[in-house]
């Protein structure tokens, strides 16, 4: 796992956007693993700019989002589908058949979660997986204590995550307490992983990760120590050194 401090959040976002763009350029049938959250908003803004100014064929890409709140109406402005449309999909030439999210309602949930993992691995794994990180070390909604061999499934959110995400809702009571997330094993199957962490709130967890020698399930992101191709990109505020 390599770390690089690019100085500020704009440069970090530009770097991630260029990596996504270059992946599509070199592999038109790319599968991209996408993340949501505040950190990713400037990444998608930069990616939209790149795509709008450089001709590129997006017709063969597929995207797979990490997670979605459980039983939240997908039309609601807090859903991750809405987020992705608002920040990326509505601004580029991509069809709904090309973007995938974990199923988030009760009917056939287990079977649908298995199907999501199968689809992700069909033909070839995800070429580039984008990841944020929670202040508690979560990746996707895999909270501390999640077994490293976990696959896509429904999970309970921790109080820390509910509080961190309350800023996107009118009140904390409205934040869903459950979500469906790609598992840690699902994420680890990706060919390449790019983690982005910006802002001082992320510094303690990034420093902890930087200093860890061995993966430990109390820090979900530490599983990335087991992966051969991970880059953690930070700004000055989140830099571990
Ligand atoms: P954030 O979320 O980008 O909104 O900080 C990251 C995460 O929780 O994975």
41-70 pLDDT, tens digit each:
999 999 999 999 999 999 999 999 999 999
* Interval 95-113: pLDDT, tens: 999 999 999 998 999 999 9
Q: Residue 91 and residue 180: Cα distance in Å, rounded?
A: 26
Low-confidence stretches of the chain (pLDDT beneath 50): none
Q: Is 220 in the pocket of ligand 1 (CB under 6 A)?
A: no
CB 128 within 8 A of CB 190: yes
Q: Is 199 in the pocket of ligand 1 (CB under 6 A)?
A: no
Cα of 107 vs centre of ligand 1, distance in Å, is: 28
Give the pLDDT score at 106: 85
Protein residue with its CA nearest to atom 8 in ligand 1: 134
Pairing state of beta strands 153-156 and 178-181? antiparallel
The catalytic residues are 67, 136, 138, 143
| pTM more than 0.95 | yes
Give the pLDDT score at 196: 98
Q: Is 191 in the pocket of ligand 1 (CB under 6 A)?
A: no
Atom of ligand 1 nearest to the CA of 134: 8
Pairing state of beta strands 67-69 and 178-181? antiparallel
SS3 string of 157-193?
CCHHHHHHHHHHCCCHHHCCCEEEECCHHHHHCCCCE
């Amino acid at each position: 796992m390599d770390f690089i401090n690019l100085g500020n959040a704009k440069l970090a976002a530009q770097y991630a956007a260029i990596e996504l763009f270059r992946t599509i350029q070199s592999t038109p049938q790319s599968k991209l693993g996408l993340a949501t959250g505040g950190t990713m908003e400037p990444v998608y803004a930069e990616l939209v700019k790149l795509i709008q100014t450089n001709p590129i064929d997006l017709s063969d890409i597929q995207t797979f989002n990490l997670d979605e709140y459980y039983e939240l109406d997908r039309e609601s402005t807090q859903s991750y589908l809405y987020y992705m449309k608002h920040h990326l999909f509505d601004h580029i030439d991509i069809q709904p058949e090309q973007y995938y999210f974990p199923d988030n309602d009760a009917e056939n949930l287990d079977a649908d979660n298995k199907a999501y993992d199968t689809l992700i691995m069909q033909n070839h794994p995800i070429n580039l997986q984008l990841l944020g990180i929670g202040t508690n070390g979560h990746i996707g909604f895999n909270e501390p204590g999640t077994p490293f061999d976990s696959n896509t499934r429904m999970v309970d959110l921790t109080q820390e995550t509910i509080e961190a995400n309350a800023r996107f809702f009118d009140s904390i009571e409205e934040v869903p307490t459950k979500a469906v997330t790609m598992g840690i094993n699902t994420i680890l199957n990706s060919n390449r992983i790019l983690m982005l962490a910006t802002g001082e709130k992320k510094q303690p967890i990034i420093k902890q990760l930087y200093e860890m020698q061995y993966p430990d399930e109390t820090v979900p992101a530490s599983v990335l120590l087991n992966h051969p191709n991970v880059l953690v990109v930070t700004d000055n505020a989140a830099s571990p050194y």
